[in-house]
Structure 1
């Protein structure tokens, strides 16, 4: 089937996934105000295109953490991808490899991180800080040994936000799907009315990360360290002082604090405040190549794309994930050209307009 935009794949994925698995993917926390605001904020942001530019040698290539990428994007970490397709993370990682963009392996992947990293390309590893610090740092070692190129420490999940869809569904992982990087226990498959088994599991396993956690990760690895979940300028400045290589401006796709500001709303402020002290990435609400252009114009070196890749995975496995990344690439090339940008660097010099939260 031919898909001409990501919304087509979203509808197709919803049509093939069981209702509670769709809710696990699509839902946010609380009233889902931040989930909706992520899209509204993009729709209220506009770029000022430039004309009469030489577009002869236009390119979407860029540098992300010191390595070339074909596009200013990476595939975001999403847990338990075998929920959506039998090949899960392996299929999505192959699509990212073939698209020439990093693939971020989630701590809660449903296939061991070593097997996913063996796909090749540019694997990164996303780390949730665990109650057992030794296990956290052991995951960092495993990621290093497997050839991962960066550690992405997620800092906005001291515990999982109240995701009401999952609570209403009494969501559990189906048999055969579990946290493959460490023992999850049988209770992730045991249904309890009004309780998300996944949230209960993470409440037992996760601990709030702090600046000592950041220091411990940086001391443990020579890989670039990226902090995911930064929204405040003060936290961004402190991240630079801590010596990290990058931050991801993110409200966790509207899945943690309901009411947290959309990343695109504060991206420009954060990028300006740290003035190149580290690379700035962002995620939350990317649904087109035009959205990628807006994020770059506001100061992002790259974006993370999450749910849309899973729509493709659910619809047609690796081929579906590939179509998502190809659509984004085609839309980005079109948007850059129409905005008069021959390069990602030029896109970063575009002016933007739109209301901002004060």
Structure 2
């Protein structure tokens, strides 16, 4: 019969009853790591993982698990996943901690997250892929709860089932879409979809079909993060020119809007005054506004007709 999570948990817990010399040495080193530089949120996760493997997990993880920080993981604090080898078999395990979510939090959050994912890794090693499914489909079944409770009680940790940090997670959801349908008036989302990656709402979302049936609105992107310097440098000349043109179009619209508002205000103000007679020798079109609105180039400050600004930018300031 295959080993279950509960059986694997009990096997690990039994090693804590009478500590071996190796476990006692690891425990002393763990305490040394955890009590050094307490004012710093950073901790050596690789060294700590090696020591936890000896102390809690029967020295079964070090040769099978790759531990690393991830800059791309922004929806949860950590993840533990099985990885296929060259033969297509699940023999390698990756444990990743979220650098964006944990780097400014207390080190205890990093330690608890590391232990949480190490428990998953332990079950992957002892029960293989069966753990990833589990009774509830999340891997947080009876075996996980049993071992997590033992680790918490023995080492005064706070390993929990869920370890997402909502404020931090939301701060990285900078790609935002808004629906123009009825759902924009309904809580809790009010038509908004926020994501950390640039993936528009669509058929790949499990809720998409229901949204189409009940709302039927169209999503339009309303916010996105500024490109980094490296991302701008990797743009092609055409992409860079198009990006510049979009910025200039927005700038021109804003300037034109202000110009129109100013003219309207002047017309309203002058409408109450007594009209003045035009001299006989003054041409009929003397009081008509010029055909072109002259604006300043945002790059070189040269006076340019509004309708020629994009051409001027392409010729004089093309990347």
TM range (shorter): under 0.3
| TM-score, structure 1 as length reference | 0.21
Higher RCO (CA 8 Å, separation ≥ 6 residues): 1
Max Rg structure: 2
